[in-house]
């Protein structure tokens, strides 16, 4: 495990104790760690009391066939009922579930729990009319609008696992996911708003469905009013189909292990992995961590500034907050639309008390300057959260001082699509936070840093972050591929889940995350596969071969850097080849994957077996001295690369 770049972190002497009032009234105290250590399963059994069960579970965990877990065995429940109906039945129907803010100015909606329940029931009835049954998969490709939440909860209500595809992904990404899970129904919108203009979504669905003949119905929300293609007999407007339905729908109770959703995340083999989450454990894990990590109170206004298309949105915009009956803000726009102060205006307007966002956003705000947040009244904030890649100490301090007024604790959370719930984080009423450290595993979670052979390392040492005990919201498998599930997560260390991240323990035994140790990049909190991007580059007629690495980037954590060998027929490719290839990757995968840099090279560094030595390319991309080249088939290749580089360092606009 590389120790590079860690020395500056290991001498972090700043720490911030919890504010006295917060600590005095905190939801979770230090006793929770001891309680969970004493009897972990009893601890999780008690947390399951947060959820309403139609039939009680008889066993907290069945771990008789690792790595395949069954949580809350025998229990039956409905996720949608837990997120909406029970709050209405408890007399909280008029509580706002979402303060929704669209991108066009003045486009807002306050959605109460009662209104949300009615529309979820209508959508569930509509899906039933379209022939969707329990177990059928439904693909959702939507902008950040309330109907996206409604669609997810309607699927959960009838037991149809949903597959939400990020609205920024291309039609090919949609094809891959629809085909892998054999979805027969797609829910989409005509388009969504992005940086001041309407961006189409329905056209990408139409293009994708040319390759997905099994899809029989497409439900379309009218969002932008733009013209869209229409296939009679397949396409139906949401307002026509959902609007005519009854607001009554009896939720069916499903087994705790009934699939709730599949979320696709990049895999090192290029084919996206369908991460399968089930119902009972996931709801317990997300609702508990949302309540504990953010110290959630009844009068809080919570804002996860993420897209529902990523797991952060699933766990901490939809299922965790709604299961807890929380009031959230949901924002369609980007941080600079309609202007660079919009976030802070929304915090002032809705009196947001808890903000949860990515370090990428924080670094962007730092770059823009503190004059934008200083124009707004941010005194309602009492807690700040960070999600995605690790937050660097400089960004932590800026976040704390400029946004939090030096009074708000910061919870720097580590978790993954696969874990479903937050795993490592400070507890705001307990932990003395350190800038840049995720601190300790939460109560009931067992995380360790181990060396190459799986032995726990000592304080001050680095290694691999592993989880040594199952946890409620854990992924159950990779959809349709149990062997890949075992090989990907459970084969590196015996009886341990290997997260794929490096980590280090400081002198106090607190955890510092070092980033990915495999070929998956973390760009602005989004995990992207090098292999997937390489495949997109090579699909261009001018490209013979490509290698992609993630290089450190001040703004996005990591940036995509590509090295390409052009086909002979392409000649030198011409001066516009770099922009042509960047645009090609954006079209094939999505703008988030567009390389920051593409370098045209005569050859790539390979071992004798033909494996590309990406670590050497990473040295070049990060302007470091090139490391050991003795294992290369031709050790002069790196000199060739250095001599022939045609560099384009222009950053993308997205």
Determine the structural domain holding residue 207 and report its residue range. 117-254
* CB 173, CB 165: distance < 8 Å: yes
Which residues sit opposite 303 in a β-bridge? 329, 355
> Can you give the pLDDT at residue 608?
47
Say whether both 608 and 461 belong to one domain.
no
Query: What backbone torsions phi and psi does residue 192 show, to the nearest 5 degrees?
Result: -145, 170
> Can you give the pLDDT at residue 609?
44
**What is the phi-psi region of residue 644: left when phi exceeds 0, alpha when psi lies from -120 to 50, beta otherwise?**
alpha
- The C-alpha atoms of residue 611 and residue 519 are separated, in whole angstroms, by 13
15 within domain boundaries: no
Q: Report the CATH number that the domain containing residue 198 is assigned in CATH.
A: 3.40.50.980
Say whether both 490 and 542 belong to one domain.
no
- The C-alpha atoms of residue 194 and residue 223 are separated, in whole angstroms, by 12
Residue 445 CB neighbours (<10 A): 23
- The C-alpha atoms of residue 291 and residue 284 are separated, in whole angstroms, by 11
Q: Which of 130, 188, 193, 474 is nearest to 342 (CA)?
A: 193
* CB 627, CB 608: distance < 8 Å: no
331 within domain boundaries: yes
Task: Tell me how far the alpha carbon of residue 611 is from its chain's centroid.
Answer: 30
388 within domain boundaries: yes
Say whether both 334 and 467 belong to one domain.
yes
- pLDDT < 70 stretches in the chain: 1-11, 266-270, 518-520, 527, 529, 607-611, 628-635, 642-654
Indicate the number of domains in the chain.
Answer: 3
Say whether both 65 and 128 belong to one domain.
no
CA dihedral 369, 370, 376, 381 (to 10 degrees): 120
Say whether both 433 and 576 belong to one domain.
no
Structure tokens at 239: 């307002």
Residue 78 CB neighbours (<10 A): 24
Say whether both 124 and 67 belong to one domain.
no
Last residue of a domain, one of 487, 516, 545: 516
Say whether both 554 and 569 belong to one domain.
yes
Last residue of a domain, one of 516, 549, 576: 516
> Can you give the pLDDT at residue 3?
35
CA dihedral 526, 532, 533, 538 (to 10 degrees): -170
- The C-alpha atoms of residue 597 and residue 649 are separated, in whole angstroms, by 5
> Can you give the pLDDT at residue 401?
97
Say whether both 336 and 443 belong to one domain.
yes
- The C-alpha atoms of residue 508 and residue 386 are separated, in whole angstroms, by 22
Say whether both 269 and 195 belong to one domain.
no
510 within domain boundaries: yes
* CB 447, CB 465: distance < 8 Å: yes
Pairing of strands 96-101, 162-164: unpaired
Say whether both 128 and 165 belong to one domain.
yes
Say whether both 250 and 277 belong to one domain.
no
Task: Tell me how far the alpha carbon of residue 414 is from its chain's centroid.
Answer: 11
Q: Report the CATH number that the domain containing residue 550 is assigned in CATH.
A: 3.30.300.30
């Amino acid at each position: 495990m590389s120790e590079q770049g860690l020395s500056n972190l290991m001498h972090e002497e700043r720490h911030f104790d919890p504010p006295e009032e917060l600590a005095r009234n905190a939801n979770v105290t230090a006793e929770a760690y001891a309680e969970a250590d004493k009897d972990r399963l009893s601890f999780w059994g008690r947390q399951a009391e947060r959820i309403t069960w139609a039939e009680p579970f008889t066993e907290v965990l069945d771990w008789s066939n690792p790595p395949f877990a069954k949580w809350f065995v025998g229990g039956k429940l409905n996720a949608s009922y837990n997120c909406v109906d029970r709050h209405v039945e408890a007399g909280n129907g008029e509580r706002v579930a979402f303060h929704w803010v669209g991108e066009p100015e003045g486009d807002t909606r306050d959605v109460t729990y009662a209104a949300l329940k009615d529309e979820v029931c209508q959508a569930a009835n509509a899906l039933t009319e379209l022939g969707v049954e329990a177990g059928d998969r439904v693909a959702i490709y939507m902008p950040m609008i309330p109907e996206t939440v409604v669609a997810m909860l309607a699927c959960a209500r009838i037991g149809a696992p949903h597959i939400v595809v990020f609205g920024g992904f291309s039609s090919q990404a949609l094809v891959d996911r629809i085909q892998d899970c054999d979805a027969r129904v797609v829910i989409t919108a005509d388009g969504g708003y992005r940086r001041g203009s309407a961006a189409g979504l329905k056209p990408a669905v139409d293009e994708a469905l040319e390759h997905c003949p099994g899809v029989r119905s497409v439900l379309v929300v009218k969002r932008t009013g733009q013209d869209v293609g229409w296939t009679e007999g397949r396409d139906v407007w949401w307002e026509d189909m959902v609007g005519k339905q009854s607001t009554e729908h009896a939720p069916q109770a499903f087994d705790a292990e009934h699939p709730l959703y599949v979320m696709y995340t990049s895999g090192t083999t290029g084919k996206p992995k369908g991460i399968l989450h089930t119902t009972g454990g996931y709801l317990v894990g997300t609702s508990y961590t949302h309540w504990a990590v953010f110290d959630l109170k009844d009068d809080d206004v919570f804002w996860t500034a993420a897209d529902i298309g990523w797991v952060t949105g699933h766990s901490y915009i939809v299922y965790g907050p709604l299961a807890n009956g929380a009031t959230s803000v949901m924002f369609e726009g980007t941080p600079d639309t309609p202007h660079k102060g919009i976030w802070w205006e929304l915090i002032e307007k809705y009196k947001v008390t808890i903000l949860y966002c990515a370090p990428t956003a924080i670094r962007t705000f730092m770059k823009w300057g503190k004059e934008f947040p200083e124009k707004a009244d941010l005194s309602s904030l009492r807690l700040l959260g960070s999600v995605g890649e690790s937050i660097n100490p400089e960004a932590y301090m800026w976040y704390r001082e400029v946004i939090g007024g030096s009074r708000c604790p910061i919870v720097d959370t580590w978790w993954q699509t696969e874990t479903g719930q937050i795993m490592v984080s400070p507890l705001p009423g307990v932990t003395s936070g350190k800038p840049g450290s995720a601190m300790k595993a939460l109560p009931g979670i067992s995380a360790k840093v181990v060396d190459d052979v799986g032995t726990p390392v000592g304080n001050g040492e680095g290694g691999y972050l592993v989880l040594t005990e199952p946890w409620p919201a854990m992924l159950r498998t990779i959809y349709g591929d149990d062997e890949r599930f075992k090989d990907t997560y459970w084969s590196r260390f015996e009886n341990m889940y290997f997260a794929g991240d490096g980590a280090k323990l400081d002198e106090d035994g607190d955890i510092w995350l070092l980033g990915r140790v495999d070929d998956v990049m973390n760009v602005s909190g989004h995990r992207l596969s090098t292999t997937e991007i390489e495949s997109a580059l090579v699909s261009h007629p001018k490209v013979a071969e490509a290698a992609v690495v993630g290089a450190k980037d001040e703004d996005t954590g990591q940036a995509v850097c590509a090295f390409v060998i052009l086909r002979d027929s392409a000649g030198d490719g011409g001066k516009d080849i770099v922009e042509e290839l960047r645009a090609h990757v954006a079209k094939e995968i999505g703008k988030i994957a567009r390389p920051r840099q593409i370098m045209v090279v005569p050859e790539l560094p390979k071992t004798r077996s033909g494996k590309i030595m990406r670590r050497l390319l990473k040295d070049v991309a990060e302007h470091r001295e090139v490391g050991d080249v003795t294992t290369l088939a031709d050790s002069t290749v790196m000199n060739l690369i250095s001599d022939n580089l045609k560099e384009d360092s222009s950053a993308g606009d997205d």
